[in-house]
Amino acid sequence: MAYKRRPWTLLPHGQLTKIEDNLWAVENNIPGARFPRRMSIIRLKNSSLLFFHAIPIDDTTIAEIKSLGYPEFLVIGHDQHAMDAEAFREKLGLKAYCPKDCEAKSRERVEISGTLSDIPHDDSIDILSLPGTKHGEAAIVVKSPNGHVSLLVSDVIMNVPKEEAGLPFRIFGFTGGPKIVPAFRRLFVKDKDSVKKALNEWANTPGLSRLVPFHGHIIETNAAAAVRGAAAAL
């Protein structure tokens, strides 16, 4: 059955939060569930804005974001993170990109301009695809003007306290962390050693100071240790 793209659906969301001079975020819950998600907004060297994931936001927040730079790119972590992506892409007039490994499924959900390697080079970011997984989910390293380095991940590491999640998520092990949740292992991992190796390489990113998961709290201290710890437990 063809995928039915979801129309623009505005739900309650948090305020636009500044993380660095070139990095902001907005959070809300996954539609229909009590489980947090985060859209990150990165300002590139030429003042273009790159969105990592899409959350419909109110007009005030859109205006606030537009005052930061020129909305141009949308990166979806993988096809299952694209529920609101097409409506968001259309509303903000963005070009959307996805991992190569889930390109076909992503194209059902979003008008795709290319895969991750087609995103124009910018010195302030590195765009990664997680080896050893079926979907090749995206991650982004963001280098900020003050020297801080943030690693933004999709599903591979979550960090959701149990009191912030609905019962089904607690039962199925989505809470606690930072961790690789059981569903990720079951659904996405095809070569555990490759995933571990990649995470350990990501942990060695020079200057890594922060881990920004799609689901859950940002880790501001010992980010590299958190990534290594999640990898070791896989």
**Does 20 interact with Fe ion (rule: CB under 5 A)?**
no
Order of strands, edge to edge, in the sheet holding 125-129? 125-129, 138-143, 149-152, 208-212
For the CB of residue 84, give the shortest distance to Fe ion in the complex, in Å.
13
Nearer to Fe ion, 73 or 188 (CB): 188
Least spacing, CB of residue 80 vs Fe ion, in Å = 7
The yes or no reply on residue 155 touching Fe ion (CB under 5 A) is yes
Judge contact between 94 and 71, C-beta under 8 A. yes
Taking CB under 5 A as the rule, does residue 137 contact Fe ion?
Answer: no
- Name the segment binding Fe ion (CB under 5 A); options: 96-104, 119-127, 154-162, 170-178: 154-162
Tokens of 103: 């390109």
Cβ 29 to Fe ion, closest distance in Å?
12
Shortest separation between residue 77's beta carbon and Fe ion, angstroms: 7
Residue closer to Fe ion (CB basis): 154 or 209 = 154
Residue nearest to Fe ion (CB): 155
Which residue is it, tokens 């280098």? 143
User: Number of residues in contact with Fe ion, rule: CB under 5 A?
Assistant: 1
* Span from 39-47, 86-94, 151-159, 198-206 in contact with Fe ion (CB under 5 A): 151-159
Closest CA to 106 of 161, 53, 44, 50: 53
CB of 157 to Fe ion, least distance (A): 11
Instruction: Return the percent helix, strand and coil in the chain, to nearest 5.
Output: 30, 30, 40
Give me the least distance between CB of 215 and Fe ion, in Å please.
6
Q: From residue 7, how far is each of 84, 85, 88, 157 by CA, in Å?
A: 8, 10, 9, 29
Distances (CA, A) of 32 to 9, 36, 83: 12, 11, 12
Residues counted in the chain: 234
Q: Which amino acid appears at position 157 of this protein?
A: I
* Residue with smaller CB distance to Fe ion, 20 or 137: 137
Binding string to Fe ion for residues 164 to 203, with x set by CB under 5 A, is what? ----------------------------------------
Is the CB of 149 or the CB of 219 nearer to Fe ion? 219
Contacts 24+ apart (CB under 8 A), 113-117: 116/75
Report the interface residues with Fe ion, using CB under 5 A.
Answer: 155
